[in-house]
Chain A
């Protein structure tokens, strides 16, 4: 997966996971056009960290699984180059360790200000999480974007890239689509597996 070539189709990646207490993490990666239309979609089978991983990665386990394991796999699987990848999960920023594109964690300012988004608590409430106050951030209309020091981050470049997208597309809404698509994929896969089991039992 490469950063977009200058003459490529303007496309943007949206990356998130759905957490399931029983199965683990389901990853989803949706590539949208500048107008918000779907171009490509990939989702992962559930990833359940092993006991050894839990012990050895400790408090960094979640960011390892989300960013380096699931995020990296999905972004590399996609065929369309993207201008930037947006995520709604802070832990996904660890993708920046292993992928060199533009990566940002996005949240709505309004949501953050009323205190219902983790973004506010983590990034903008200095008393709650002072260690995150140094993260690079950017305000783009009603959205706030943040990166980490491991991410490729240029405020000017990101603003220029994302401004047209933000004028057409609600930058948070695509994550809802991904959630629904993951649930659908899970439902269809389980249904198919159930049918296969039924057939083999009948045979």
Chain B
């Protein structure tokens, strides 16, 4: 061995620091024999070269460092093409010992360059941002919400499909805020159903108060001016308005940095005008929010993805292929999966017999209707069948001649109990005239009405009165007006006076009450009149729930087909009619 220092001079690691020399000379003596004396004066020697292992590296300098080092270094940065997710305003956690959980931003699959992927992976956990004093948030999100924000943040194309009531709005607002602070997003277009505009304004004011919100409303000339001239902040529009404004929105001078569509099931029909208008708007990021990405069939998802990531899905794809294709774009959690202390949701099916008057009217209508349908032969279309279905459903609510109603009798009894205990209830119906009939008959409960006939400006005060007035126990809502976006977690009872064709819409309605902030258990009562069309519809709804699970439940059978939608055969089967050539149910629904 080479020369070594005495032990007292060796370092604490047990060897002298210069031991890393690369050549070692070994002196070997000739082998001794038994009878000869060994001569050691000129021993043979071999030299063993210890080549130092070559360490190759890869690396990158991120934008913030480039800026600090000066322009010459900026040019040489490998990650120059990356965006600037490091330019957050100073964030100083008050106490990092509180940051027990860590949510990391993970790059989506479509970020290909290693430098760009590392830029996302090496960001501090989101919890550190929320602990910052300069980026205040009203309260700490749940861990699953951090996951949702971390999912949206790096993605150009994303669908946040959490179950209703888990805070999709807040997650989207916070992700948008982070991007805005990082100067990745300067101008956002947010499109939502008209009744939810004020809700979005409120959520943005709460979670991103520094972002300017411009609601695109008013006269055409004003809307046009806003489309053409607002260059920063959040532009807030509704679907109906956007369709009218498409010529302006589609020709904005610069693409929107981010476009968010809320309740994106509104564009499920890929051939609709709304879908066309939404998809025509130039944008860099496309996020869709929906609690019900599939309402009728897997084709609904194709329509949404026409906006999110055109070409990702095609019509008639198999469920297994859809699941595979959307896996990196969609995040979906339900209330059972997330770790939140949400009160239970209890279902009870109220199976009621029709009143004698209703029974008589129902039998007559069904017999006459079926006879008439059969007589139509080849002229029979799905629309004719639907008309009969709707007629029968209305009779299940009220007898048209006398106004008697088995459901109303039951509802009154339940509401007595509800009001006596000081609790609040929401009753959903498909029809405005049913709501009006209920309102007349339930006056002692001070009912409030919320449906399509109520003007937009009157709607928010109605919700506020229902929430704040202790004498206001009952809110009568139509599925169309009240099933999406509203926060009614102060109601403990939900009644589905009649059933909607679509389980997703029913779930939306129920989850107005059963959501974060719910003070206690939510009891959902579904009225079903026995031996009527409502029982048959209930079976169909269960089948649709099975379709939804087959796409989004990771434990579901991926090979299941997508034919669970309500087919033409099934709707005609409700009355055991002969099958003419005709439209599919979806076309008529």
Contact = CB atoms under 8 A, between A and B. Distances in A.
Interface of A: 9, 11, 27, 29-31, 33, 35-45, 47-50, 52-53, 56-57, 59-60, 63-65, 68-70, 73-74, 77-80, 94, 97-98, 134-135, 141-142, 148-150, 167-170, 173, 176-177, 180-181, 184-185, 188-189
Given A60-B15, A64-B20, A73 B55 contact: yes
Interface in B48-82: 48, 50-53, 55-62, 64-65, 68-69, 73
A188 B124 CA distance: 21
B280 interface: no
Nearest to A141: B97
Contacts of B13: 60, 63, 94, 97, 148, 150
Given A37-B64, A188-B114, A44 B121 contact: no
A37 B123 contact: yes
A150 B11 contact: yes
Name the residue in B17, B55, B93, B104 with the highest tally of chain A Cβ atoms < 10 Å from its Cβ: B55
B125 A173 contact: yes
Interface residues on B, range: 35 or more
A41 B62 contact: yes
25 contacts: A27-B55, A35-B91, A35-B92, A37-B86, A38-B122, A39-B64, A39-B65, A40-B59, A42-B57, A44-B56, A56-B24, A57-B19, A60-B19, A69-B55, A77-B59, A80-B61, A80-B68, A97-B11, A148-B12, A149-B11, A167-B92, A170-B99, A173-B102, A173-B125, A177-B122
A97 B17 contact: yes
A59 B14 contact: yes
A185 B48 CA distance: 35
Given A38-B86, A148-B13, A181-B122, A70 B55 contact: yes
A181 B58 contact: no
Contacts of B6: none
The 8 closest A-B pairs by CB, nearest first: A42-B59, A39-B65, A38-B122, A9-B68, A73-B55, A45-B56, A36-B124, A97-B17
Contact of A52 (B50, B55, B97, B128): B50
Contacts of B114: 184-185, 188-189
Given A44-B56, A69-B55, A149-B12, A36 B128 contact: yes
Given A60-B15, A64-B20, A97-B11, A181 B118 contact: yes
A52 B51 CA distance: 9
B119 interface: yes
B62 to A, nearest CB: 5
Interface string B113-154: 010011101111100100000000000000000000000000
B462 interface: no
Contacts of A45: 55-58
A94 B56 CA distance: 20
Given A177-B122, A181-B122, A37 B104 contact: no
Nearest to B76: A79
Given A56-B24, A69-B52, A184-B117, A40 B123 contact: no
B211 interface: no
Nearest to B90: A35
Contacts of A77: 57, 59
A3 B119 CA distance: 25
Contacts of B125: 173
A191 B346 CA distance: 49
B197 interface: no
Contacts of A60: 13-15, 19
Contact of B17 (A33, A35, A150): A150
Contacts of B53: 47-50, 53, 65, 69
B94 to A, nearest CB: 9
B456 interface: no
B342 interface: no
Interface string B94-107: 00110100101000
B88 interface: yes
Given A38-B123, A181-B121, A68 B20 contact: yes
Name the residue in A41, A47, A80, A176 with the highest tally of chain B Cβ atoms < 10 Å from its Cβ: A41
